[in-house]
Chain A
């Protein structure tokens, strides 16, 4: 594999930061391998996203506005990615580690008889191989897995793992032919967006998470949301809070929930059981607020403040807002 291919996941041309992270890193990996970096953007809105991607170190951006991409469940996307991969030859395909990214990756692995590494946080080209660094067993192990350059390689990449660095020679946008004739068995009848405009938890630079210690759903709105807003971050929760129905499951961090790696993680009223730890242990800085000095979260927090979260959090929000006000 010499070339690198990025799957640009989007919705009507709107994408998430991870797409730009992948595009930035693809250019670097391709340069190290002596090949080229390309992106595949398909479905309505592709042209709009392709324009944005021109600012990244890519060579060709394959596009097709094919409406079938919205009408059928992932099948057309897999077909287009396969077609682009065949054009590029044995290549490394970077796919975001998202719900649909994982589905796409598994299918593409079979189509291309590719090697596959999941949840990758670092890619290191090595002679005859591409070594992928990835945490396993809930982060208890950091593995280094080699893909052979003779094969196709499919990797799912953890959001927040790579830096966004624009700059490129002006990629050219190329229409990719509609693969066909194919039949798509799973049809999408309705696609409903909820919580639009909210920062995706996995990509947030700051996560303020609440647990059992908050005692109910209201403090997530009245305490955590204002603090997250002041810090430019997102609100998350422990499993206890999600199981109690205080927040939807898509905010749950940890085993059977999401894995996040923000620069700053603030755990409020979370004891820090292993099943929560596995979802946030790789965060940059961890601050915990807990009334119990002996709670396990203290064992892996950079700062544990023992006290009443209901009093501390509003004061902290005020301090941050004041500091921000002084700067602007």
Chain B
């Protein structure tokens, strides 16, 4: 079984993001690039499925990223993925979600797989639209938010979380899968994994390797970013020291009453 996992490299979600008031751009200094957290969960799921399948099952990472960032994928290889393919091209810069999904799909068509595992959201742009868009471009069943997966021959059985409960779903392979966080915490890379990852292949492909019938990058985008700004500053509010339960409760109650919230 061949599994492909898509991974996006994003600014560390746990770092406070700041916009430079002069340049109006995100301050990248001191903010490291990491694997998109949802994609780590997708990778964990893929690795578990690989282990269960045994034999010659493989996990390949696919990422669309600038060439300068691709070494960031070593971490995914250290966790246990077998190899990585990166779509890098300067012409991709400025791609919006539709152009991004189009380019990713074109590259994924060149990889043969039984299962495509995609993170449910990205931490930076968080459109959540890429899984559905990829499924549509690739003509795959789109089974999202899976918490349990069984591969049975050329079929997949999934227990997936919904907004109000869960569903049991089945479909044929190849399929696209996104995973819920309850599938399992992403594993830590072992020392052996980290050493082994240094020897694993990160292949690069460019737009020249794909014959696209549609522009990408800014000119292939359907949306235009007009402006961006930090949100209104939320100042530090009142601080009240409560000596006992009632005085603390009264302070909150009075505060809410003034704001007509109680």
Contacts of A231 in B (CB 8 A): 262
Contacts of B127 in A (CB 8 A): 102, 105-106, 116-119, 156
Cβ of B172 < 8 Å from any Cβ of A?
A: yes
Cβ of A55 < 8 Å from any Cβ of B?
A: no
Distance in Å: Cβ of A164 to nearest Cβ of chain B: 19
Of B26, B131, B171, which is within 8 A of A185 by CB? B171
In A130-172, which residues have CB < 8 Å from any B CB?
Answer: 131, 135-148, 151, 154, 156
* Contacting pair B133 A320 (CB below 8 A): no
* Contacting pair B226 A102 (CB below 8 A): no
* Contacting pair A11 B164 (CB below 8 A): yes
Of A103, A145, A308, which is within 8 A of B132 by CB? A103
Of A146, A192, A314, which is within 8 A of B224 by CB? A146
Interface string of A292-304 (1 = CB under 8 A from B): 0100001111111
Given the contacts A145-B224, A186-B141, A275-B14, A307 and B243 also touching, CB distance less than 8 Å: yes
Distance in Å: Cβ of A320 to nearest Cβ of chain B: 5
Cβ of B135 < 8 Å from any Cβ of A?
A: yes
Minimum CB distance partner of A143 in chain B:
B228
* Contacting pair B126 A136 (CB below 8 A): yes
* Contacting pair A249 B181 (CB below 8 A): yes
Contacts of B237 in A (CB 8 A): 286, 298, 301-304
Interface string of A266-304 (1 = CB under 8 A from B): 100000011100100110011101000100001111111
Distance in Å: Cβ of A188 to nearest Cβ of chain B: 5
Contacts of A147 in B (CB 8 A): 222-223
Most buried by A among B167, B242, B246: B242
Contacts of B144 in A (CB 8 A): 99-100, 103
Minimum CB distance partner of A277 in chain B:
B16
* Contacting pair B231 A281 (CB below 8 A): yes
Distance in Å: Cβ of B102 to nearest Cβ of chain A: 8
Interface string of B143-164 (1 = CB under 8 A from A): 1110000000000000001111
Minimum CB distance partner of A151 in chain B:
B222
**Cα–Cα, bound, A144→B231 (Å):** 12
Contacts of B224 in A (CB 8 A): 129, 145-146, 148
Contacts of A136 in B (CB 8 A): 124-126, 228
**Cα–Cα, bound, A184→B246 (Å):** 59
Q: Among the listed stretches A45-53, A107-115, A210-218, which one makes contact with chain B, having 4 or more residues with CB under 8 Å of it?
A: A107-115
* Contacting pair A106 B161 (CB below 8 A): no
Chain A residue total in the interface (Cβ 8 A): 98
Contacts of B189 in A (CB 8 A): none
* Contacting pair B133 A106 (CB below 8 A): yes
* Contacting pair A107 B225 (CB below 8 A): no
Main secondary structure of the interface of B (DSSP, over half): mixed
Contacts of A302 in B (CB 8 A): 237-238, 255
Interface residues on B, range: 35 or more
* Contacting pair A187 B169 (CB below 8 A): yes
* Contacting pair B142 A103 (CB below 8 A): yes
Interface string of B113-149 (1 = CB under 8 A from A): 0000000110111111111111111000111110000
Distance in Å: Cβ of B166 to nearest Cβ of chain A: 5
**Cα–Cα, bound, A275→B181 (Å):** 15
* Contacting pair A256 B130 (CB below 8 A): no
* Contacting pair B168 A111 (CB below 8 A): no
Cβ of B193 < 8 Å from any Cβ of A?
A: no
Most buried by A among B37, B166, B226: B226
Cβ of B210 < 8 Å from any Cβ of A?
A: no
* Contacting pair B222 A191 (CB below 8 A): no
* Contacting pair B230 A141 (CB below 8 A): yes
Cβ of B15 < 8 Å from any Cβ of A?
A: yes
Contacts of B145 in A (CB 8 A): 99
Interface string of B221-254 (1 = CB under 8 A from A): 1111111111100101111111111111111110
Contacts of A175 in B (CB 8 A): none
Minimum CB distance partner of A255 in chain B:
B13
Distance in Å: Cβ of B7 to nearest Cβ of chain A: 15
Cβ of B165 < 8 Å from any Cβ of A?
A: yes
* Contacting pair B129 A145 (CB below 8 A): no
Most buried by B among A98, A137, A141, A320: A137
Distance in Å: Cβ of A102 to nearest Cβ of chain B: 3
Cβ of B38 < 8 Å from any Cβ of A?
A: yes
Given the contacts A119-B126, A186-B141, A140 and B97 also touching, CB distance less than 8 Å: no
Known contacts A315-B248, A316-B249, A320-B262, then 7 further A-B pairs from the complex at CB < 8 Å, ordered by chain A residue: A103-B142, A109-B132, A116-B96, A145-B224, A275-B14, A285-B259, A303-B239
9 nearest A-B pairs in the assembled complex, by CB-CB distance: A106-B132, A311-B245, A307-B242, A115-B222, A106-B129, A102-B128, A140-B17, A315-B249, A118-B127
Q: List 12 A-B contacts (CB under 8 A).
A: A73-B141, A102-B127, A115-B221, A118-B125, A151-B222, A196-B165, A256-B37, A273-B14, A289-B248, A293-B239, A302-B255, A307-B243
